[in-house]
Amino acid sequence: MIWHKQWIFGNWKMNGNLADNAVLLQQLAKINHDHALVGIATPFPYLSQAVDLLKNSQIIVGSQDCSSFAEKGAYTGEVSATMIKNCGAKFVLIGHSERRTYFNEQNQILRKKIDNALACDLIPILCVGETLEQRQARQETAVVGKQLTVLQGLSVNHIAVAYEPVWAIGTGEVATATQIEHMHAFIHREILSILGENVTIRTLYGGSVNANNAADILSIDKVNGALVGGASLKADAFSAIIANAQTE
């Protein structure tokens, strides 16, 4: 059933503290969202807190990343998919543009993370997107297409991808409806060509999504939800975005 709803997922990035988290999570737990799948990706230290405070709600909790190492061992600072699952998480973001930019994560590493997530029954959400320079050079489909090749050879019936134009993340800039529609349609076609015609796809848009623009973005064809940054740290704003999710 979750694969036929719009998904509204929040990404806290490197934000939060135990006291503020408790207030926010308790507020989020009260939101009515039967028409949408709602998730929160927290920093690693807060996974268990979020799982505990949301246990009586339908909101799922996920991680912002996982290690490319599958097994436990001498990997100081790494957090495995197994550990994330053990904390009660349901999904993991993989390949967020900030991971690609700051840590130079490329397809070889990202594929290992996807495989590790799937092996632990976590939902991997692959993040893709182009920079402003690439968009201006009309390379956006070539860039995103290459990023999607990380899916080649997977044997899955469902896949989730978040399209986040790098130039629209945290900048206040939002891609136009035409740009979003074209890219989401392209992503759908590429995934079907890679994984087969029977795969169920969720494509989320991320990039300065807020209470004011959510309704318009979520009404665009092939937009199956949103990956929300800063607005997910405010209960009222996040609730307003959730309210605009489309029933499919």
Lowest mean pLDDT among 33-47, 131-145, 160-174, 213-227: 160-174
pLDDT bin (cut points 50, 70, 90) of residue 102 is very high
Lowest mean pLDDT among 143-147, 173-177, 210-214: 173-177
Contact in structure between 79 and 44 (CB atoms under 8 Å): yes
Task: Give me the catalytic one of 96, 105, 130, 140.
Answer: 96
Tell me the pLDDT of the chain averaged across its residues: 95
At residue 123, what are phi and psi to the nearest 5 degrees? -85, 115
Evaluate the CA torsion angle 203, 213, 164, 44 in order and state its sign. Answer: negative
Task: Give me the catalytic one of 105, 130, 140, 164.
Answer: 164
Q: Per residue, what are the HEC states of the chain?
A: CHHHCEEEEEECCCCCCHHHHHHHHHHHCCCCCCCEEEEEEECHHHHHHHHHHCCCCCCEEEECCCCCCCCCCCCCCCCCHHHHHHCCCCEEEECCHHHHHHHCCCHHHHHHHHHHHHHCCCEEEEEECCCHHHHHCCCHHHHHHHHHHHHCCCCCCEEEEEECCHHHCCCCCCCCHHHHHHHHHHHHHHHHHHHCCCCEEEEEEECCCCCCCHHHHHCCCCCCEEEECHHHHCHHHHHHHHHCCCCC
The model's pLDDT over 176-235, given as tens digits with 9 standing for 90+, comes to 999 999 999 999 999 999 999 999 999 999 988 999 999 999 999 999 999 999 999 999
pLDDT bin (cut points 50, 70, 90) of residue 1 is low
Q: Provide the β-strand partners of residue 28.
A: none
pLDDT at 242: 96
pLDDT at 171: 77
pLDDT bin (cut points 50, 70, 90) of residue 91 is very high
pTM of the model: 0.96
Contact in structure between 97 and 127 (CB atoms under 8 Å): yes
Domain architecture of the chain: domains with CATH:
2-243 (3.20.20.70)
Q: For residue 178, give every residue at least 6 positions away whose Cβ sits within 8 Å of its Cβ, in sequence order, or none.
A: none
Q: What does the alpha-carbon distance between residue 103 and residue 78 come to, in Å, rounded to a whole number?
A: 13
| Active site (annotated) includes residue 164 | yes
| Active site (annotated) includes residue 96 | yes
